[in-house]
Amino acid sequence: MAEDPFTLFDAWFAEARRSEPNDAEAMAVATADAQGRPSVRMVLLKGHDRRGFAFYTNLDSRKGGELDANPQAALLFHWKTLRRQIRIEGGVEPVSIEEADLYFASRARDSQLGAWASDQSRPLDRRETFEARFEELGRTFAGQDVPRPPRWAGFRVIPDRIEFWTDRPHRLHERRLFVRDGPGWTEGLLYP
């Protein structure tokens, strides 16, 4: 075995991008608040390398608050057509300001305006309030680049565990677990 987990992730992710009908980048992100109460939601992977796996959000969102209070997260990729999953667990750190600015600038303009318009995870009295705010911001930033909102940033999950799960007939699934061991990784199998 002794394969590098990042190399294996890259191979599986490339295959998922070719074969998954929708959003191969979709991943569940599980966090917990300071009291340990868990929460999970779907987000999109927006970058990965040997440092970890990055996604972006409003820092005032529920997940932003939970990651501030408890900087640990678990990720799950489930590619049903490939009959594969990847589970990732580890500590979380903010991405650099430069990375956040670069990614924000790459987003569609309406997505940029939406980031300004949304008080993510906060109560909304009615949909029209949000839509009116979005339209007003469109006028405010007309003819200019939309800057990254100060409370919008990214997080990187720095893995200390990566599990690769492959579906097999009769629930005889294959589970390969990589655990960080200093600068490297140890690998083993888990019962399904």
Q: Are the beta carbons of 81 and 20 closer than 8 angstroms?
A: yes
Tokens 């569940």 belong to residue = 28
* Active-site choice (107, 171, 176, 180): 171
Closest to 51 measured CA to CA, from 23, 14, 92: 92
**For residues 53 and 47, what is the distance between their CA atoms, to the nearest angstrom?**
6
Concerning whether 133 is annotated as a catalytic residue, the answer is: no
Cα(11)–Cα(9) distance, rounded to whole angstroms?
5
What φ, ψ does residue 102 adopt, rounded to 5°? -65, -45
Cβ–Cβ contacts within 10 Å for residue 103, how many?
A: 19
CA atoms within 13 A on the CB side of 47: 18
Active site residues: 171
